[in-house]
């Protein structure tokens, strides 16, 4: 068996999502929950319909509350360790949709402290530069500044730290060690950090002096933080946050692990030029096609392992019937790998053209999004 690992600081190997569901103790999103969710939302989103968001905690409870008129707020975040790539955008794209259909507030935590504590060779200044850059990517997705609040751990310490210590007081070193695998040599900031990530799950309730339900959309690797958060919040008098988990956008070179910024050739960044995108997809995107055109025409390709197809499914082709058509044509051999790659290149570049345009004007808006204490 190949070794695999999924935790907030490492995702490697062939990720087995069924095993994660069992080991993490999250619930799969089944058909009846999906139907209920779509009914209440009044719309369907391809990311949940296609199982990219595949698991949850307490989503039924959250919907019960919503139906009773008890609106929730959304909480997600970004660790500014570097440039953002397409995989990083997935939770934000989904949050934007949730914010629009449910008409709710969104709190976004930027964990500059976390990345400083966990990245051996980066200064706080470098991380904060990335953070500024990452904020532009988030804003470019079109959030409503009246309903979207950025929390920066080092800048909002004045309101966050008093809450973080309440969490920290309920957390022991042994809980941290068993959740995150830290040891005697981990620095003390790392051991404390999860207390900060717990805070936005109840800070809006503190600020408004009203206990509100919280929904956290996030990639599955972040679940250990929220498992602890859920254990502790009731002890502080707040409801357990509900959560909804997505799988990882696969890296260009294959199906293992996730798209990662540390491999320039494994990731497509939000700032890549059309030529970069074309080169990366053509050269590196793992193909589910056959070795020769003749074989491909005869036996067809395998969309399930084909990275270009996966990118269309995860992100760039939201229309199910279009995606289904591509699936059929590729599988039957009617569509070649080259043709599939070209469709993907065009779709990504169409998205990035708009994104990069909005990104430029986003810089001036950052101040509007930063929460004012």
Binding mask 71-110 for ligand TRP (x = CB under 6 A): ----xxxxx-----------------------------x-
Closest listed residue to residue 106, CA positions, set 240, 217, 220: 217
Q: In the beta sheet, which residues pair with residue 12? A: 5
CB of 227 to ligand TRP, least distance (A): 13
Cβ atoms < 10 Å from Cβ of 123? 10
Asked whether position 111 contacts ligand TRP by CB under 6 A, the answer is: yes
> Tokens at residue 197, please?
């990530």
204 binds ligand TRP (CB under 6 A): no
DSSP 85: B
Q: Binder to ligand TRP among 58, 105, 113, 114 (CB under 6 A)? A: 114
Cβ closer to ligand TRP: 75 or 330?
Answer: 75
> 224 or 301, CB closer to ligand TRP?
224
Question: Which segments within the chain are labelled E, that is strand?
Answer: 5-7, 10-12, 27-28, 53-57, 73-78, 106-110, 148-152, 214-219, 242-246
Nearest to 15, CA basis, from 189, 257, 239, 214:
257
Out of 218, 280, 296, 355, the only residue in the binding site for ligand TRP (CB under 6 A) is 218
Which CB sits closer to ligand TRP, 58 or 306?
Answer: 58
Smallest gap from residue 349 Cβ to ligand TRP (A): 26
Between 98 and 216, whose beta carbon lies closer to ligand TRP?
A: 216
CB 326 within 8 A of CB 308: no
CA distance 86 to 344: 13
Binding mask 5-24 for ligand TRP (x = CB under 6 A): ---x----------------
Among 26, 216, 323, 326, binds ligand TRP (CB under 6 A): 216
Helix (H) or strand (E) holding 339: helix 337-362
- DSSP assignment letter at 231: H
**Is 25 buried (19+), middle (13-18) or exposed (0-12) by CB count in 10 A?**
exposed
Using the minimum distance from each CB to ligand TRP, give the nearer residue, 205 or 336: 205
The reply to whether 197 sits near ligand TRP by the rule CB under 6 A is: yes
Q: Does 194 bind ligand TRP (CB under 6 A)?
A: no
Return the number of the residue (32 or 120) whose C-beta is nearest ligand TRP: 120
> Which is nearest to 131 in space by CA: 105, 150, 107, 158?
150
Binding site for ligand TRP (CB under 6 A): 8, 75-79, 109, 111, 114, 197, 216, 218, 222
């Amino acid at each position: 068996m190949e070794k695999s690992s999924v935790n907030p600081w490492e995702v490697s190997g062939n990720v087995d999502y069924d095993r994660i569901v069992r080991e993490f103790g999250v619930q799969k999103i089944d058909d009846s929950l999906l139907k209920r969710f779509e009914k209440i939302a009044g719309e369907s989103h391809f990311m949940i319909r296609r199982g990219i968001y595949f698991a949850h905690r307490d989503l039924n409870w959250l919907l019960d509350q919503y139906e009773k008129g008890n609106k929730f707020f959304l909480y997600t975040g970004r660790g500014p360790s570097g440039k953002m790539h397409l995989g990083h955008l997935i939770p934000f794209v989904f949050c934007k949709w949730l914010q629009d259909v449910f008409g709710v507030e969104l709190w976004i935590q930027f964990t500059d402290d976390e990345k400083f504590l966990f990245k051996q060779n980066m200064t706080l200044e470098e991380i904060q530069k990335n953070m500024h850059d990452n904020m532009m990517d988030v804003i470019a997705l079109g959030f409503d500044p009246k309903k979207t609040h950025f929390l920066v751990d080092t800048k909002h310490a004045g309101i966050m730290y008093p809450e973080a210590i309440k969490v920290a007081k309920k957390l022991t070193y042994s809980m941290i060690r068993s959740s995150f695998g830290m040891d005697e040599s981990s620095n003390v900031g790392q051991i404390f950090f999860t207390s900060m990530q717990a805070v936005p799950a109840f800070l809006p309730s503190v600020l408004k002096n009203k206990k509100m339900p919280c929904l956290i959309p996030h990639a599955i690797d972040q679940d250990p933080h929220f498992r602890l958060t859920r254990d502790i919040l009731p002890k502080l008098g707040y409801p357990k946050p509900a959560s909804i988990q997505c799988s990882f956008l696969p890296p260009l070179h294959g199906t293992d692990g996730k798209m990662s910024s540390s491999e320039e050739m494994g990731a497509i960044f939000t700032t890549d030029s059309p030529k970069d995108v074309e080169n990366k997809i053509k050269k590196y995107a793992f193909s589910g096609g056959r070795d020769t055109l003749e074989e491909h025409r005869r036996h067809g390709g395998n969309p399930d392992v084909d990275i270009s197809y996966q990118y269309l499914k995860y992100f760039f082709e939201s229309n199910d019937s279009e995606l289904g058509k591509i699936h059929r044509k590729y599988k039957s051999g009617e569509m070649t790998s080259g043709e599939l790659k070209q469709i993907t290149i065009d779709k990504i570049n169409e998205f990035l053209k708009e994104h990069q345009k909005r990104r430029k004007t986003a810089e001036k808006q950052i101040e509007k999004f930063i929460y004012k204490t």
